[in-house]
Structure 1
């Protein structure tokens, strides 16, 4: 359903920035922050169309003035990072997806300026937020998201 579907209530869980992931030999690997516009001519690695993270990446690049040249796609961010480590391109990856990922061969840097962000929420039938079977699930999701 669309985000504004009146039948649903959205319960925010968390928001997180995307970080730039570049090969260690990349010209911007030594930068403190990566200006997205500087990556306009690079090959890109990103999620498949239809994945909400794909939309975040494309919109962030468009806001920086270019269309990313997506040469490789995977919805598995470990694979995205591995491809960047193999010098197959650059990527934007949600920060939480980098936890526990082998970062050998890449440098992770924040994006200069306003970072692309994903917002994660639970959607429940309007009025069901306090149902005794749903409330504990929402509370548990919120607790894990805060951790």
Structure 2
């Protein structure tokens, strides 16, 4: 999930009382919203979920802040007409409180201009100055 072709610098802020887009059974503020507000994600999976949510609400600042400096783009571009609608984590390897690297394989559902679609990705994460960061991904379909 590296963005599309249309830059947008302001976020579409999620409703704090609605379920979090990442799919966990919590409201946005108690789930990914706390990471978007500045708290560090404790695991690679938590970072991946919060980044999915950042794509859903178009929070460019968070995406850039949590991208490893060696692979971070100058900006994140959001595809006009794209709406992220669901997330399923398939596999997690490493990425816990005691690890320095981890991978998360997931399926992200979306609609693009009214048509449903799915992205399957294996994302790699690493710690940078103690904090989890997104390094890169292998798209799996």
Q: Which structure has greater helix proportion?
A: 1
Shared fold (TM-score, shorter chain, > 0.5): no
Q: Which has the higher contact order (CA 8 A, sep 6+)?
A: 1
Shorter-normalised TM-score: what interval? under 0.3
Q: TM-score, normalised by structure 2?
A: 0.22
Q: Which structure has greater strand proportion?
A: 2
Q: TM-score, normalised by structure 1?
A: 0.22
